[in-house]
């Protein structure tokens, strides 16, 4: 028993160390010259900043007045939707999945199963870091900017700022819940491209709910959404440049690596506690994989025992 436990501990330690080494290693893939314009973080930030300033000057005040008269019977529903913007659900699930994949008994699994478990861990780590990182960046930004919240409309107006206040009443721009919603939606949409039509509208709904409950101005939620999306895209590019989980298509867009389906296949196998057969691995290349990268091995946070 002690020997088995010691072996499992050493394996987990080695997997974590090798995973961190892969993530912090120098990039091995150069982004294509035709990289998608709307997948560049600086472009996303610039566009949403311009839109936010426009909305701030033209629509924030009338919308702020309207929010005061939002139907009371719908406020409970709006608060429930808004609660998903904390990101706790996604962080808890992705964190638990990451720990589960790392603690999987790799020394007892076939090589194909270990590779699949590493890929699941990589996907979970990407989602977790996107949501946590996006929220932290936004939290720092809004506390430095120090914009007054809509609840202070009567006393401070719509354009009152108290920089570096680090007080909840003056931490409105950009919205933290909206940033978390943007990071959640984009990271999940990148990992599960077919579910993008579900994740993106759900994230937008969370942003709107922050206005309905009177917690943020329209420009706050717009900029927060942009910050979250930009951070998730930045992290996805960092992963792709290290051949982790993502790669680039012939059109320069981010897309899952050629072994993308291994994530779902291995997750089912781990839940059933059975190894992934080599035959399944051979047929795991999805039709949606990047055609220009068909001969490119999509690496994971390699974890060798």
Residue that the structure tokens 């699994």 belong to: 109
In eight-state DSSP terms, residue 244 is B
Give pLDDT, residue 272: 62
How distant, in Å, are the alpha carbons of 74, 151, 241 from that of 71? 6, 16, 48
Distance CA 218, CA 56 (A): 7
Give pLDDT, residue 57: 93
Name the pTM for this structure: 0.82
Give pLDDT, residue 227: 96
Give pLDDT, residue 153: 82
Q: Please provide the DSSP assignment of 134-167 as one string.
A: HHHHHHHHHHHH-BPPGGGHHHH-TT-B-TT---
Given 3-state DSSP classes, what are the helix, strand and coil percentages for the chain, each rounded to the nearest 5?
70, 5, 30
Among 225, 174, 214, CA closest to 78: 214
Give pLDDT, residue 280: 43
Residue that the structure tokens 């194909």 belong to: 112
Domain boundaries, the chain: 2-293
Give pLDDT, residue 151: 86
**Digitized pLDDT (tens) for each residue of the chain, 305 residues in all:** 666 666 666 666 776 777 777 777 777 788 888 889 999 999 999 999 999 999 999 998 888 888 878 888 888 898 999 999 888 999 999 999 888 877 766 556 666 566 667 788 888 999 999 999 999 999 999 999 999 998 888 888 888 899 998 998 999 999 999 999 999 999 999 998 889 999 999 999 999 999 988 889 999 999 999 999 999 999 999 999 988 888 888 888 998 876 665 555 655 665 565 544 434 444 444 444 454 444 434 444 443 33
SS3 for 255? Answer: strand
Instruction: Return the structure tokens found at 241.
Output: 């440049």
Residues whose CB is less than 8 angstroms from the CB of residue 225 and which lie 6 or more positions away in sequence, other chains included? 48, 175, 178, 179, 181, 182, 203, 204, 207
Residue 161 φ/ψ, nearest 5 degrees: -125, 140
């Amino acid at each position: 028993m002690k020997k088995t436990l010691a072996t499992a501990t050493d394996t987990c330690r080695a997997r974590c160390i090798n995973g961190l080494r892969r993530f912090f290693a120098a990039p091995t893939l150069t982004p294509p010259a035709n990289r998608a314009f709307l997948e560049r973080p600086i472009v996303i930030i610039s566009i949403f900043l311009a839109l936010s300033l426009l909305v701030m000057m033209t629509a924030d005040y009338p919308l702020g007045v309207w929010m005061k008269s939002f139907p009371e019977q719908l406020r409970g529903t709006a608060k429930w939707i808004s609660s998903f913007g904390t990101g706790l659900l996604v962080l808890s699930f992705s964190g638990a999945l990451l720990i589960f994949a790392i603690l999987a008994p790799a020394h007892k699994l076939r090589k194909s199963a270990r590779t699949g478990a590493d890929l699941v861990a990589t996907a979970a780590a990407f989602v977790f870091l996107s949501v946590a990182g996006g929220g932290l960046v936004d939290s720092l930004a809004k506390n430095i900017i120090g914009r007054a919240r809509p609840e202070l409309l009567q006393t401070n107006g719509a354009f009152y700022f108290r920089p570096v206040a680090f007080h909840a009443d003056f931490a409105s721009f950009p919205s933290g819940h909206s940033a978390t919603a943007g990071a959640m939606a984009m990271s999940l949409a990148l990992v599960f491209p077919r579910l993008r039509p579900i994740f993106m509208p759900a994230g937008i709904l969370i942003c709107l709910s922050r206005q309905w409950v009177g917690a943020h101005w329209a420009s706050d939620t717009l900029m927060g959404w942009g910050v979250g999306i930009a951070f998730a895209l930045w992290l996805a590019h960092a992963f792709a440049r290290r051949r982790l989980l993502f790669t680039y298509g012939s059109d320069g867009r981010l897309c899952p690596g050629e072994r993308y389906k291994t994530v779902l296949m291995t997750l089912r196998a781990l839940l059933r506690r059975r190894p992934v057969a080599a035959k399944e691995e051979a047929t795991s290349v999805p039709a949606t994989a990047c055609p220009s990268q068909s001969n490119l091995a999509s690496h994971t946070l390699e974890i060798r025992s």
